[in-house]
Amino acid sequence: MSVPYLHLVGARPNFMKVAPVHRALAALGQPQMIVHTGQHYDPNMSDVFFDELGLPRPDVNLEVGSGSHAAQTARIMTGVEGVVLDRRPKALIVYGDVNSTVAGALVCAKLGVPVVHVEAGLRSFDRTMPEEINRIVTDRLADVLYTPSEDGDRHLLAEGVPKEKIVCVGNVMIDTLARLRPAALARWAALAPTLPPRYGLVTLHRPSNVDDPVVLRSLMAALEQIGQALPLLFPMHPRTRARLADLGWREEESAVRILEPQGYLAFLALEEHAVLVLTDSGGVQEETTYLKVPCLTIRENTERPVTVTMGSNVLVGHDRARLVAEALRIAGGSTRPSEVPPLWDGSAGDRIARDLVQRGF
């Protein structure tokens, strides 16, 4: 059986990106299916996202699990190839920069199936980041490249991508945020009584921050220092908690309050009401820019520079002194003006769907 559009997702951020495109194509009466590679799969962290986003359960779950980049990518390619040969989609739509994205693009490029890349053109110019390699390869293979901001267009044109393949549509992550913001705010009434009146929100997951004991110990020391002035809430992945236990860190003696991993709506409510957010997540940089919540990104670079040049984001790298100084500055009420980038208006998914249908994909 053939389907026109096959959406490939592999990790939680992909769910927020596929939801508006899937919704918009459905409104146009376009048959489609979702393949979840299971690259990052935990029922407690994945199933709730499908429920909250109003997405149907995936038609196929490849359940590839974790592993080295090579092993995981190979398993994804093998699984995706079988689905594509069976379903013969008109086009494969991939999202972001995870291993599932580049694996799907490689398979379909070799099978002659058009590849559509949503969130194309982002560049950190740091090839030590696996995501940067995934972005570059996927963009070279893609037949249509939908960018979230004008810097993405510039990067692709500089790399020789033909102009007719590139469409700046805005940010699909913001589509999901804007649609579900009222539902997230409805959660606040139940959350607020359990939280400090003023707090900072922390999210860290990148191996460069949580897998290096020296870096993690330094970051936690900085968070402890900030937490003396502003209570910090840290929804923490179990893997990070295990890393901290290895360091002898004691939660009961900390100024940082550890929370269980949050669903999308609860996390969005926490984000909206935070005094500041400390993160290493690309998606959180975008969300805080839209919400105009001050954000400190604990990375040396970002593939989303528009969040720095226009938005509420500040790159602090791994400079502990700067991280503490910037956080205390914001906690003391000193913030800078920010703007929402063009086309981050909740309609990117609609623009993508209309363009796909017009192109005949």
- Helix/strand/coil for 279: strand
Rounded-to-integer distance, Cα 330 and Cα 155, Å: 32
Residue 46 has a pLDDT of 59
276-296 average pLDDT score: 97
Q: Convert the pLDDT of each residue in 182-235 to its tens digit.
A: 999 999 999 999 999 999 999 998 888 888 999 999 999 999 999 999 999 999
Q: Which is the catalytic residue, given 36, 40, 155, 205?
A: 205
Rounded-to-integer distance, Cα 260 and Cα 237, Å: 7
Q: Convert the pLDDT of each residue in 113-151 to its tens digit.
A: 999 999 999 999 999 999 999 999 999 999 999 999 999
Q: Convert the pLDDT of each residue in 287-307 to its tens digit.
A: 999 999 999 999 999 999 999
Query: Is pLDDT above 90 for 63?
Result: no
**How is domain 5-171+344-359 classified at the CATH fold level?**
Rossmann fold (3.40.50)
Query: Is pLDDT above 70 for 330?
Result: yes
Please classify residue 160 by burial: count the beta carbons closer than 10 Å to its beta carbon, then call 0-12 exposed, 13-18 middle and 19+ buried: exposed
149-157 average pLDDT score: 98
- Is 205 part of the annotated catalytic residue set? yes
Name the band, by pLDDT with cuts 50, 70 and 90, for residue 353: very high
Residue 72 has a pLDDT of 92
Q: Cite the residue boundaries of each domain of the chain with CATH code 3.40.50.2000.
A: 5-171+344-359, 177-331
Rounded-to-integer distance, Cα 46 and Cα 41, Å: 6
Name the band, by pLDDT with cuts 50, 70 and 90, for residue 359: very high
Residue 1 has a pLDDT of 60
Q: What is the mean pLDDT of the chain?
A: 93
Query: Is pLDDT above 80 for 340?
Result: yes
264-286 average pLDDT score: 96
Residue 299 has a pLDDT of 94
Rounded-to-integer distance, Cα 297 and Cα 285, Å: 7
CATH number of 177-331: 3.40.50.2000
Name the band, by pLDDT with cuts 50, 70 and 90, for residue 43: low
As beta bridge partners, residue 202 has 278
CA 164 from centre of chain: 26
Nearest to 202 by CA among 170, 225, 236: 236
45-73 average pLDDT score: 84
pTM: 0.93
Sorted by sequence, the CB contacts under 8 Å of residue 153 that are 6+ apart come out as 121, 147, 166, 168
Residue 62 has a pLDDT of 93
Query: Is pLDDT above 80 for 48?
Result: no
Residue 239 has a pLDDT of 80
- The more confidently predicted of residues 327 and 245 is 327
Name the band, by pLDDT with cuts 50, 70 and 90, for residue 41: low
Q: Convert the pLDDT of each residue in 68-113 to its tens digit.
A: 899 999 999 999 999 999 999 999 999 999 999 999 999 999 999 9
**Do 309 and 338 meet the contact criterion of CB atoms below 8 Å apart?**
no
Sorted by sequence, the CB contacts under 8 Å of residue 300 that are 6+ apart come out as 126, 315, 317, 318
Name the band, by pLDDT with cuts 50, 70 and 90, for residue 237: confident
Torsion of CA 23, 27, 29, 30, to 10 degrees: -30
Among the residue ranges 15-29, 44-58, 217-231, 247-261, the one predicted with the least confidence is 44-58
**DSSP string for 136-202:** HHHHHH-SEEEESSHHHHHHHHHTT--GGGEEE---HHHHHHHHHHHHHHHHHHHHGGGS-SS-EEE
